Amino acid sequence: MTVKIAPSILSADFARLAEEIKEVDKGGADYIHIDVMDGHFVPNITIGPLIVKAVRPHTNLPLDVHLMIENPDMYIQEFADAGADIISVHAEASRHLHRTIQLIKASGVKAGVVINPSTPVCMIEPVIADVDLVLLMTVNPGFGGQAFIESVLPKIEQVRELGGPELDVEVDGGVNRETALLCKKAGANVLVAGSAVFNKKDREAAIAEIRGTV
């Protein structure tokens, strides 16, 4: 199975965001991963719909928007209008997860659901058939550059088993050349990588390394 690579712009140089996105686009990225944090659900504040709208004209790659915010329902339409192609919400942040997923679909974009390392897969089992993507956090969300949590690996296998071959099973946090191998082996087909891509000068080589093609 060839994996898709989704560079997370959290580790990019925000003052040169358009150029950074063009570089990873040219370097073979499949998605652009955008980390939205509100300072409540996670202890960091990052990007809002304005930035999604600003980067939209600079790439044709799907914008994979990862919402780490409370009250996600309030902002879904805004992110869809700003140019998101996939919107993922944390199961821990939505009171009525099924409704939130339907809202994402009604906004015209693909729907994803995310769980933290300590959240069991059974929390999302009832909605797996409704989503296009399941994102498994392999760090506690909030910051780039953290260490991969290996105890999440059996959850990747579980989600692949439940979702079947068509589901996008994405992994986010601490992904590098070595941990990418473990994720692929467990059944993930979309790998998010922030520091492992943007902290390297040659983005094409970094992406190929994570994909496992060099």
Supply 151's token pair. Answer: 């105890």
Choose one: 47-55, 122-130, 182-190, 192-200; the region binding ligand DX5 (CB under 6 A): 192-200
The span from the CA of 141 to the CA of 117, in Å, is 9
Scanning residues 96 to 115, which ones bind ligand DX5 (CB under 6 A)?
Answer: none
Choose one: 31-39, 84-92, 104-112, 155-163; the region binding Zn ion (CB under 5 A): 31-39
Considering the candidates 30, 38, 168, 172, report the single residue annotated as catalytic: 172
Query: Of the two residues 30 and 172, which places its CB atom closer to Zn ion in the complex?
Result: 172
The span from the CA of 107 to the CA of 170, in Å, is 22
Bridge-partner residues for 34, per DSSP?
65
Supply 130's token pair. Answer: 């409704």
Work out whether strand 110-115 and strand 133-137 pair parallel, antiparallel, or are unpaired: parallel
Q: Identify the residue among 46, 66, 69, 156 touching Zn ion (CB under 5 A).
A: 66
For residues 42 and 71, the answer to whether their CB atoms sit within 8 Å is no
Q: Annotated binding residue at 144?
A: yes
Q: Annotated binding residue at 66?
A: yes
Residue 63 makes contact with ligand DX5 by CB under 6 A: no
Query: Smallest gap, in angstroms, from Cβ of residue 32 to ligand DX5?
Result: 11
Site string (7-36) toward ligand DX5, x via CB under 6 A: -x-xx---------------------x-x-
Cross-sheet strand order for the sheet of 110-115: 4-7, 190-193, 168-172, 133-137, 110-115, 86-90, 63-68, 32-37
Burial of 146 (0-12, 13-18, 19+ CB in 10 A): middle
The span from the CA of 49 to the CA of 9, in Å, is 14
Choose one: 93-101, 103-111, 123-131, 136-144; the region binding ligand DX5 (CB under 6 A): 136-144
Query: Smallest gap, in angstroms, from Cβ of residue 12 to Zn ion?
Result: 13
3-state secondary structure of 37: strand
The catalytic residues are 35, 172
Interaction site with Zn ion (CB under 5 A)? 35, 66, 172
Q: What residues form the annotated binding site for a divalent metal cation?
A: 33, 35, 66, 172
Residues contributing to the site for ligand DX5 (CB under 6 A)? 8, 10-11, 33, 35, 66, 139, 141-142, 144-146, 172-175, 192-196
